[in-house]
Amino acid sequence: MMTADRLLAFAAMSFLLIVVPGPSVLFVIGRALAQGRRAALTTVAGNTLGAYVLVMAVALGVGTVVERSVLVFTALKLVGAAYLVYLGVRALRQRGALREAFAADGSEARGGLRTLWEGFAVGVANPKTIVFFAAVLPQFVDREQGHVAAQMLLLGLVFNLIAIASDSVWGLAAAATRTWFARSPQRLAAVGGAGGLAMIGLGVTVAATGRKD
């Protein structure tokens, strides 16, 4: 139904987006530092569930409209690319944002279900993920093979598997390296700056690629 090359290309672009510290990653980091590893992993699970709800929405609704209309696809792609570049520029200008996450206050304990729900809310409302699924995911669908919705669901599953692994690493690393990062604000700024540059690059890539029909 879908070639390995197409899946690998989508996985590569997904990885580039996922590893950049965005709202979900910052939330996971904050939970890791405030409440420990278990809360971080629970938050990752919630984020993933929220992100897959977005995948289903695109696959069963928005994605159909985008897939059938070149005009809608192009407009959405360009808007999405511009927003990704905007996020990258903002990340560069606000490189100290990660420091706030590492200074999270852990005094308030939360139950597992509440932590899961809050992670879900962040995942389903993450603008970076919304833009990616609506503007980028349809580009990797092979319309000649049919089953467009099923292909989108499969691509979304690939995205979420990468997200689980990446976000879990962020959370576990934050819990394990708090003291090391806290000693050097420059290290946090470097992480935020690299993420901003990667986001700008992703936005340019989205704008420059896509359907030719």
Q: Are 44 and 28 in contact (CB under 8 A)?
A: yes
Query: What is the pLDDT at residue 109?
Result: 47
As given in the structure block, the two tokens for residue 110 are 């939360």
Taking only the tens of pLDDT, the chain with its 213 residues reads: 678 888 898 999 889 888 877 767 877 877 776 677 888 899 899 989 988 988 888 888 765 565 566 676 677 667 767 876 886 787 677 666 556 655 554 444 456 788 888 888 878 877 778 778 877 888 888 877 778 888 888 999 999 999 999 999 988 887 777 667 656 667 666 766 766 776 677 677 767 765 545
What predicted TM-score, i.e. pTM, was given to this entire model?
Answer: 0.67
SS3 142: coil
For helices 148-176 and 4-19, angle between their N-to-C axes, nearest 10 degrees: 40
CA-CA distance, 44 to 171, in Å (whole number)? 8
> Could you please report the per-residue DSSP string of 25-40?
HHHHHHHHHHH-HHHH
Q: Residues 8-41, buried b or exposed e (16+ Cβ, 10 A)?
A: eebbebbbebbbbbbbbbbbbbbbbbbbeeebbb
CA-CA distance, 123 to 143, in Å (whole number)? 28
H helix intervals, 69-182:
70-93, 97-102, 112-124, 127-135, 148-176, 178-182
Query: What is the pLDDT at residue 118?
Result: 81
Place of tokens 């706030």: 100
Query: What is the pLDDT at residue 102?
Result: 57
Query: What is the pLDDT at residue 135?
Result: 76
